[in-house]
Amino acid sequence: MPVRFRILPDRGLVVVRYTGHAAIDDTMRATRAYVSHPHYAPGQKQLVDFSAITGYEKDYVRFMQMQAEKAGRFAGSGTQSLVVYIAPTPISQELASLFFKSWNDVHAVVPIVQDSETEALTLLGETKETVDTLLMPTSGRRALQ
C-alpha cells in the first residue's frame, strides 16, 4: 500500500509516509486503521511525509468528503493535533497545500508544511531521528504499519 504509518505512543506521535501515486481510498484505509488501533490517542502529533509521491488522485469532491469525515473525527476529540507535512517537491507541495487548506476552519488540527525533513522533525521535537528511523520496527516500540 502506498501509505504506511507507525504509531509511537511513547512519543505521542504517528508517522505517515506516502509513496508513488496517492489515492483517496488508500488514505481512507490508513486513516480508519489508525483511529481504530489501540495505540491511537486523540491529540497525537502527526508527521506526514509526502517526499516520495509521484502524483495524487485529483478528485477534489471526494478529497473534500474525506477531509470532512476526518475533520468531524478530530473536532469531536476535544484536543488539538499538530500535523506536520514534509513536502520538498512541486507535486508534494501541491498535495500538502490541499491538505493544509482543508484544515482551515478546523481548530482541532494545526497544520504546518515544511520542505525539509530536518525542519519538520525539529518542529516535532524529534531532532535526533529521521523519518526512516521512526518508521523502522524496533523492539519496545509499539506501532502499526
Q: What is the pLDDT of residues 34-50, one digit of tens each?
A: 989 999 998 899 999 99
Q: Give 137: exposed, middle or buried? Use CB within 10 Å, 0-12, 13-18, 19+.
A: exposed
The verdict on residue 141 lying in a domain is no
Give the DSSP H/E element, type plus range, for residue 33. Answer: helix 24-36
Query: What proportion of the chain, given as a percentage, has pLDDT over 90?
Result: 68
The verdict on residue 143 lying in a domain is no
Per-residue model confidence (pLDDT) at position 138 = 64
The verdict on residue 112 lying in a domain is yes
Closest CA to 124 of 82, 74, 80, 93: 82
Per-residue model confidence (pLDDT) at position 143 = 47
The verdict on residue 123 lying in a domain is yes
Whether the Cβ atoms of residue 56 and residue 25 lie closer than 8 Å to each other: no
Per-residue model confidence (pLDDT) at position 77 = 73
Per-residue model confidence (pLDDT) at position 137 = 76
pLDDT tens by residue, 47-99: 999 999 999 999 999 999 998 888 877 777 778 899 999 999 999 999 999 99
The verdict on residue 20 lying in a domain is yes
Per-residue model confidence (pLDDT) at position 73 = 74
Residues of the domain holding 56:
3-135
The verdict on residue 140 lying in a domain is no
Q: Which is it for strands 3-8 and 13-22: parallel, antiparallel or unpaired?
A: antiparallel
CA of residue 86 relative to chain centroid, distance = 9
Q: What is the CATH number of the domain that holds 23?
A: 3.30.750.24
Q: Is the pLDDT assigned to residue 142 strictly greater than 60?
A: no
Residues 136, 19: Cα–Cα separation, whole Å: 16
Q: Is the pLDDT assigned to residue 7 strictly greater than 70?
A: yes
The verdict on residue 100 lying in a domain is yes
- Domain total in the chain: 1
Dihedral of the CA atoms 57, 62, 66, 71 (nearest 10)?
120
Q: Is the pLDDT assigned to residue 32 strictly greater than 50?
A: yes
